Amino acid sequence: MSTSAATVNSASKTKGRKRGEPRLFDFRRQSKLSREHVRTMQIVQETFARGLTTMLAAQLRSVTQVSIQSIEQQTYDEYIRELPNPTVLTLLSLAPLSGAAILQWPLDVAYVAVEMMLGGKGYVEQPNRALTDLESQLMRSIIERALPELRYAFEPVVVTEPKIMSQESNPQFAQIAAPTDMVIIVAFDIHIEAISGIATLCIPFSSLQPYLEALSATSLYASQSNVNAEETSARLIYHLGETPVSVSAQFRPVEMSAQDIVRLRVGDLLPLSHPVDQPLTLVVDDIPTFEARIGRRNRRLAVQIVRRAEPGSPSLRPTRFQLGQPVDR
């Protein structure tokens, strides 16, 4: 085996390859589908699978289950060569996405769906031929009912307007991209009663890439903004802790009339009406913060914190100096 290619296990996407069968992988071709892209497509296609399950169960009136089997990146040529011939191919326009997409259904699942729409029971044995015009129209009606589910699923990434462009049975006649162009292949496991098959959705990577990148960038910036917010908060707390502020211990304020203030002289004693056992109010930049008691430390006066100050407490209410009250001299 050459160093440029090896085999890896991959989930089957078509009837032609069984589950777990190895396929060629070219290490020279760098994968463009990142982990974030796969996660986004996983969410989108799971939504589409749930909607498709509900739609098929309502239309066919049978037990139906649709689930995602795999999401992979391939060249368009590899995808086309792996599809069986004949099959049911529907070319879709996903405006504003450039180009077209392919929704492929296996023949046995398509025949069972058509048979049940016509009142049949959906037998296991089905013919291996292309659909007739009548059968194609019935299958087209099913796909048209699935398009709103596809539009709803893609809304978190891009608002699309899916429309059916044409239907084909030979994969070689469905050319939506160059053979070497990369495409995203989503494989769905469809169960209708006792019949099961693998349907695929093929979308050119170049048409989805700008929207996937934009969505990944938005998520990245959102996570960065959260980190920046935490850093900004920590930086703000640090700098505020180093900011000098004015702190003062205040007695209960007194209200005086203008006449009494004018009468004040040097040496007058002004009663504050502040009880001796009443704590002082510790004020930080004119904002009451704590209550404190007068004390002494060594040869300096000090205050001892008692409790937090409550707005509207008696220690913060001013005492009115009655007009005519004598002023001690």
Note the pLDDT tens digit of each residue in 163-189.
Answer: 999 999 889 888 888 888 889 999 999
Backbone angles phi, psi at 105, to 5 degrees: -115, 140
Quote the tokens at residue 242: 């180093």
Q: Is the separation of the CB atoms in 13 and 70 below 8 Å?
A: yes
pTM of the model: 0.57
DSSP 269: B
Q: Where are the domains of the chain?
A: 7-216, 247-320
The residues, any chain, with a CB within 8 Å of residue 125's CB and separated by 6 or more, are: none
Please, which pLDDT band fits residue 6 given cuts at 50, 70 and 90?
A: very low
> Is 53 in a helix, a strand, or coil?
helix
What class does CATH assign to 7-216? alpha beta
Nearest to 307 by CA among 292, 295, 294, 317: 292
Domain 247-320: which topology? Answer: Surface presentation of antigens (SPOA) (2.30.330)
Nearest to 137 by CA among 167, 93, 170, 163: 167
Question: Angle 98-189-135 (CA atoms, 0-180°, nearest 5)?
Answer: 75
> Is 119 in a helix, a strand, or coil?
coil
**Alpha carbon distance 34, 30 (integer Å):** 10
Structure confidence by residue, pLDDT tens digits, 52-102: 999 999 888 888 999 999 888 888 999 999 999 899 999 999 888 888 999
Nearest to 143 by CA among 114, 122, 116, 123: 114
The domains spanning 7-216 and 247-320 adopt the same CATH topology: no
